[in-house]
Amino acid sequence: PRPILDMSYSRHFLDFQGSSIPSSMKKLVVTKLSQNFREAVTLRQDSPVPLPGDGDLLVRNRFVGINASDINYSAGRYDASVKPPFDIGFEGVGDVVALGLSASADYTVGQAVAYLKAGSFAEYTVVPAKQAVPLPSVKPEFLTLMVSGATAYISLKELGELSEGKKVLVTAAAGGTGQFAVQLAKAAKCHVIGTCSSDEKGGFLKSIGCDRTINYKTENVESVLRKDYPEGVDIVYESVGGKMFDLALNSLATKGRLIVIGFIAGYQNPTGLQPIKAELLPAKLLKKSASIRGFFLNHYLSEYKMALKHLLKMYERGDLVCEVDCGDMSPEGKFTGLESVFRAVDYMYMGKNIGKIVVELPHSVNSKL
């Protein structure tokens, strides 16, 4: 290994609070490909703590984010060439506890950072300094911006062509990324409609500026759209798939745009998809000069730093609500520790969350050496 700052000469090295960093840690590993997250993923108790290279940071994770993508990744849907075992988890917020020599030009031990990188479901993660985002403090709210906020910001900017007065429909609007689509569309002076599954979620959506909420458990989405928006909607931010996709497609206005950022309704099926009525798709698009665009964050990483900077500024100015759901209302309580990632994924599938689901990784500081 190349030189690492803050290393003692033993197998342990010191972190900034003077406690020892252990030689082993817990982490989650995909050990077989399956759409059932619990079957695919194993909690390893004694993985070696990785050592940062010259341009790297060693981050002690304090909060990790749950994404629908975790299921697709552990089911092997993103990259067929990746074979188990492999690390999982896409984003984390934590403290820098050690770093390589050249990384120390920009970072110091004790600094709060966020990052977007596979392998965050672990107590410690090595993050290239170039990929880290310095933060004013370690707060779960910052985690909401890494994947969920950036997805909403970049997709709406690049594909949505938002402008004042446009009608924007956001499906799963009270979820991790939906909350940002609602707020960013409102900031662009659009009229925003959000679908959700409870009155409590509807109340949250109104609080962040949603003009019309539709509780699909008690209202017929299709009837509401047809009655209240006879001309159709201009932009749809769609993450549900299946029947909701069909509804959204049918409700597009002339020259309407449907942005697909996911299709969570089908992620637990073997194929990952719920059937849609696609046979009439060419005719429907042609009839309205409408378009469907897919959005996958990895293809827009050139825009990522700019998007994050913008979102962080909005949050710090108080112009952006970053709602976090740590599972306090879930049957077994708050999501604490890597063991609870499994529960958090189940909770996401039950559609119970308001905002971004976040798991806290508590750290007990050992006595000074």
Residue 61 maps to a domain = yes
Residue 312 maps to a domain = no
Q: How many domains does the chain have?
A: 2
Domain boundaries, position 252:
146-299
169 and 130 inside one domain: no
80 and 201 inside one domain: no
Residue closest to 125 by CA, chosen among 40, 12, 28 = 28
129 and 160 inside one domain: no
For residue 19, what pLDDT band results from cuts at 50, 70 and 90?
Answer: low
Please report, rounded to a whole number, the percentage of residues in the chain having pLDDT higher than 90: 81
pLDDT tens digits, 261-311:
999 988 878 887 888 998 899 999 999 999 999 999 999 999 999 999 999
188 and 80 inside one domain: no
110 and 207 inside one domain: no
160 and 266 inside one domain: yes
Q: Which of 284, 299, 314 is the last residue of a domain?
A: 299
Euclidean distance between CA atoms 87 and 92, whole angstroms: 13
What's the residue count for the chain?
Answer: 369
Residue 50, domain CATH: 3.90.180.10
pTM higher than 0.75 for the full model? yes
Strands 24-30 and 86-87: antiparallel
pLDDT tens digits, 81-105:
889 999 999 999 999 988 888 898 9
150 and 227 inside one domain: yes
Contact predicate 43/345, CB 8 Å = no
Residue 247, domain CATH: 3.40.50.720
In the numeric block, which tokens belong to residue 278?
């696609």
128 and 156 inside one domain: no
Residue 77 maps to a domain = yes
Residue closest to 259 by CA, chosen among 275, 238, 282, 244 = 238
